[in-house]
A and B are shown apart, each in its own frame.
Chain A
């Protein structure tokens, strides 16, 4: 169990550019979640996948945001035409989905995005 990993850990981009983040969940976990956390706030839910199916999207996830999880393994979160308001920590979490600990989510270290 190597834990949830995210790449990159930090990203600085200019307003209007596109960015893509990657999340590798714990290998046997079939649920994967994306959250966004701003300074002084708790994480806010963006979207989640059960295997490769995207089952829920928050209204926070504007049309500029898209997420994929091909083959039910790693996931990517893309933000198009970034805005300064997108600056935040983007967190990924995974959970077993089908065990006694199915409701426990394991978080990665996050990707800190700064839009200048």
Chain B
């Protein structure tokens, strides 16, 4: 079945460091891909998405490019801040058919130190 695999955390970085969180997926076809973020004590929030190959999603300085050749959707940010400390979830969905639910990875916890 469809699945999402994320790099294991926790990831600890100093402020202004470069961030990469790896995400790969297994699916037959080309699903939509998402990154969600969960800040401490808050609910899941959509961070960015890409709906077709080579699309780049971006938001709040974060970017991810839909790579069908490597079935990947890695999350990047050039300079992290303490306020980026959160758990990041990669997910896929097949909206448009009878389904539409998200399939999530296990999440990667990011801690940014001042």
Q: Which residues of A contact B (CB under 8 A)?
A: 4, 31, 33, 35, 40-45, 48, 55-56, 58, 91, 93, 95, 102-110
Residues facing A in B63-86 (CB within 8 A) are none
Check if A110 sits within 8 Å of B99, measured CB to CB.
no
Show 13 A/B contacts (Cβ-Cβ < 8 Å), sorted by A: A4-B43, A33-B101, A41-B106, A42-B91, A42-B105, A43-B102, A43-B104, A45-B102, A48-B100, A91-B43, A103-B49, A103-B96, A107-B44
| B51 nearest in chain A by CB position | A103
CB distance from A98 to the nearest CB of B (A): 11
| A48 nearest in chain B by CB position | B101
B89 contact from A42, A45, A58, A93, Cβ within 8 A:
A42
B107 contact from A42, A103, A106, Cβ within 8 A:
A42
Check if B44 sits within 8 Å of A91, measured CB to CB.
yes
Interface string of B18-46 (1 = CB under 8 A from A): 00000000000000100010000011111
| A55 nearest in chain B by CB position | B98
Given A45-B101, A48-B100, A95-B100, check contact A40 B95 (CB 8 Å).
no
CB distance from A40 to the nearest CB of B (A): 7
Check if A44 sits within 8 Å of B104, measured CB to CB.
yes
Check if A45 sits within 8 Å of B51, measured CB to CB.
no
Check if A107 sits within 8 Å of B45, measured CB to CB.
yes
CB distance from B43 to the nearest CB of A (A): 4
Asked if B93 CB lies within 8 Å of chain A CBs, one says yes
CB distance from B49 to the nearest CB of A (A): 7
Asked if B103 CB lies within 8 Å of chain A CBs, one says yes
CB distance from B7 to the nearest CB of A (A): 13
B46: chain A residues at CB < 8 Å are 104-106
Q: How far is the CA of A44 from the CA of B106 in the complex (A)?
A: 10
Check if A43 sits within 8 Å of B98, measured CB to CB.
no
Check if A109 sits within 8 Å of B43, measured CB to CB.
yes
Check if A31 sits within 8 Å of B106, measured CB to CB.
no
B45: chain A residues at CB < 8 Å are 107
